[in-house]
Amino acid sequence: MKLGNITESLFLKVIPLIWKVAPVKLLLVFVIRLLEALQPAVQIYLTKALVDEVSSLIQGTSDSFQMAMMILLAQALLYSADLGLKSLGHLFMFDIKQKAKYTVDHQVAEKCASIAYIYFEQPQYYDKLQRVSQGLAYRGLAILDHFFQLFKGMVTLVSLAAALAGLHFSFIFGMIFFIVPTFWIHVQLGKKRFAQMVHQTPTSRKVHYIMRLLTERESAKEVRMFRLFSYLKEKWSVLYWNNATEQYRLERTGVAYQLFADIISYAVTLASIIYFIYLSSEGVLTLGYFVALIETIAVAKTNTQAVSIHLSQIYEEALFTNELFEFLALPEGGYDRDQRPLRNGDESGLKVEGLTFCYPNQDDPVLKNISFHISPGQKVAIVGKNGAGKSTLVKCIMGLYEPKEGTILYNGVNIQSIEGYEQKVSAVFQDFMKYQLTVKENIGFGDIDSLDDRASLESAAARSELQPLIDSLPLQYDTELGPEYEGGRELSHGQWQKVALSRSYMNVQAEMVIYDEPTAALDPMAEAAMFEKFAGLARNKTSIIISHRLGSCRDADVILVLKDGCLIESGTHDQLMALGQEYAAMFKAQSRWYEGSPLGKEAFGRS
């Protein structure tokens, strides 16, 4: 990335963002840094004057004790003012960073909520998200601080250079020798650190993932039961040290480079002091000038190195900040909203036409040229073996995935063009969320606008038979659920299912309800009871059920049979049984288990 691009990233993206959240404090910090930058030159001038006065007193050539005290008082006041400005500037910068960090995190969260759902199926998305979430937003904001420190250092150097140039122009070249090596080294290291970070992100994510497997509750049962700890620990250790070794090698290179720059810096400093001694021996410099110049060299050395470091840090942070703005620039999901009027007739309900869907970076379609029509109020079952594409089809119907080819219409309008389409759909998933929040939130999230409507919460809980459990909880609807936070109440899987069902009941305005294998963990009897509850939820609504247990689908108005991403059969249970093909074969195979056939008994070791 060129310096011109860095400037563009800095002024066209970061600075406007900071200005928007804290314009007044940004101006105040600028003024404070300017005053701080002038302070070293003034202090050096006062030091020169003080040394000359004290030298005269020692030699007995003047009676200027009062003047020396006045200079000393001025130095003390200047030092105190500098301390106050530093403290004030620190507080202002802290507040600016807090506000800007909130703004950036808010934008990242909004981007995650608005981008196409398909991004969540891509490893590249998680790599980029990790780079953004692991401090990149804050590192990007650090550009502002580096800029102010750079501005402060440059003003200080200009004031010092003016003083040095009055003696000899060659001192300007000495300052350049201070700044160039350090700047070059840090720029090169910044490039290498950024490249290393990008290269290591996938491995770093896996390191964190395996550590979660070793330490978190969800994996603890299987890790212990299958004796996985040693294997996972070894895998984690190998990945960790692979990254750590690469980072150590880069750090070792940086130390060697910095040592070289420090040697050059010391040589320039030594040469400058020798030259000052020579000028003093020739009577060109007074003692005050000599001390002031020595202090000037020290301050100049510190500031030139600081300028080079802040320049290189701006370069490095800009590389990282570019990742943040690339993430924020990801295209958002959905088509442009189409306000076409709804069409009546046979296009009412849900109509899928020629649907083909591919996951990113995969050539083979998961769904292939699927077409069907669901009339309003129909009960539809989607069945098929694992990997047939059932859940993918449902995600397309819900508008989470955009098809590669074909369209999905609801009442004649592309679902991606319907404002508020998500409010027309309610769903219960097999992997439903267990929010580590209150009962009220776990249920109310089904209709966020009714979160504080106690009557709606109680109605949803009663319909799912969850109310008796809520009554037994210490804080009832305000009880925290889950084990992650103090005071949280863990529930059984069946109880969590009732919570998820209650969440679906909250959306009373839904015109279509979807059940994506929400009862897969239940036995057939419990599943039948649960589907009775679903029937209540879906009354007078279009319902779509995915289930591996075909006995639960017998009463569906339409059964869609998927195989290898293709819709191969559709019809009622009786029609498909009479057809005697895929559905009939699956149903007969399952019915032997339900009827207690010898095959089923042998499989469970019974006679």
Answer with the residue of higher pLDDT: 442 or 296: 442
pLDDT band at 10, cuts 50/70/90?
low
Burial of 421 (0-12, 13-18, 19+ CB in 10 A): middle
Selection from 151, 468, 195 nearest residue 316 by Cα? 195
Architecture of domain 345-603 in this structure: 3-Layer(aba) Sandwich (3.40)
The per-residue pLDDT for 175 is: 63
Integer Rg of the chain from CA: 36
Residue 448 CA to residue 437 CA, distance in Å, equals: 14
At 522 the pLDDT is: 55
For residues 167-173, average pLDDT: 60
What tokens appear for 66 in the block? 């009062």
Q: Inform me whether the pLDDT recorded for 551 exceeds 50.
A: yes
Which of 16-30, 50-64, 544-558 is the least confident region?
A: 50-64
Q: Which of 542, 522, 541, 540 is nearest to 530 (CA)?
A: 522
Return the minimum-mean-pLDDT range out of 40-44, 125-129, 168-172, 304-308.
168-172
> What is the mean predicted confidence (pLDDT) over 230-245?
89
The stretch 369-374 carries a mean pLDDT of 90
The pTM of this model reads: 0.62
Mean of all residue pLDDT scores within the chain: 76
Q: 86-105, pLDDT tens digit by residue? A: 888 888 888 887 887 788 77
Q: Bigger pLDDT: 33 or 14? A: 33
Pairwise pLDDT comparison (495 vs 194), residue with the higher score:
495
Is the per-residue pLDDT at 61 higher than 70?
no
Band of the pLDDT at 67, cuts 50, 70, 90?
Answer: confident
Residue 597 confidence (pLDDT): 41
pLDDT tens by residue, 343-370: 444 468 888 888 898 887 777 888 899 8
Q: What are phi and psi of 418, to 5 degrees?
A: -95, 115
Percent of the chain with pLDDT over 90: 2
CA-CA distance, 271 to 495, in Å (whole number)?
80
What's the average model confidence in pLDDT over 496-505? Answer: 84
Residue 179: pLDDT band (50, 70, 90) is: low
Note the pLDDT tens digit of each residue in 205-229.
888 888 888 887 667 766 776 677 8
Q: Is the dihedral of CA 223, 225, 228, 233 positive or negative?
A: positive
- As a whole number, mean pLDDT of residues 44-67 equals 74
pLDDT of residue 338: 44
Spatial strand order of the sheet with 413-414 comes to 367-374, 350-357, 405-410, 413-414
Q: Where are the domains of the chain?
A: 3-328, 345-603
- State yes or no: pLDDT of 196 exceeds 70: yes
Predicted confidence at residue 241, as pLDDT, reads: 93
The pLDDT of residue 603 is 31
Of the pLDDT bands very low, low, confident and very high (cuts 50, 70, 90), residue 134 is: low
What's the pLDDT score for residue 604? 28
SS3 562: strand
- Please give the pLDDT value at position 345: 40
Instruction: Say if CB 444 and CB 457 are below 8 A apart.
Output: yes
pLDDT band per the 50, 70, 90 thresholds, residue 130: low
Looking at domain 3-328, its CATH class is mainly alpha
- Beta strand pairing status for 350-357 and 405-410? antiparallel
pLDDT at 485 over 80: no
DSSP codes of every residue in 150-203: HHHHHHHHHHHHHHHHTT-THHHHHHHHHHHHHHHHHHHHHHHHHHHHHHHHHH
**Cα gap 347→343, rounded to integer Å:** 7
For 146, the enclosing helix (H) or strand (E) is helix 137-165
pLDDT in tens, 158-167: 777 776 665 5
Rounded to an integer, the average pLDDT of 65-83 is 85
pLDDT at 588: 84
- DSSP 8-state symbol, 438: B
pLDDT of 569 > 50? The answer is yes
Give me the mean pLDDT over the 223-245 stretch.
84
Residue 320 pLDDT: 63
Ranked by mean pLDDT, which of 47-51, 169-173, 511-515 comes out on top? 511-515
User: Are 3-328 and 345-603 the same fold in CATH?
Assistant: no
Q: Are strands 367-374 and 350-357 parallel, antiparallel or unpaired?
A: antiparallel
Q: Has residue 455 got a pLDDT over 80?
A: yes
More confident residue, 19 or 542: 542
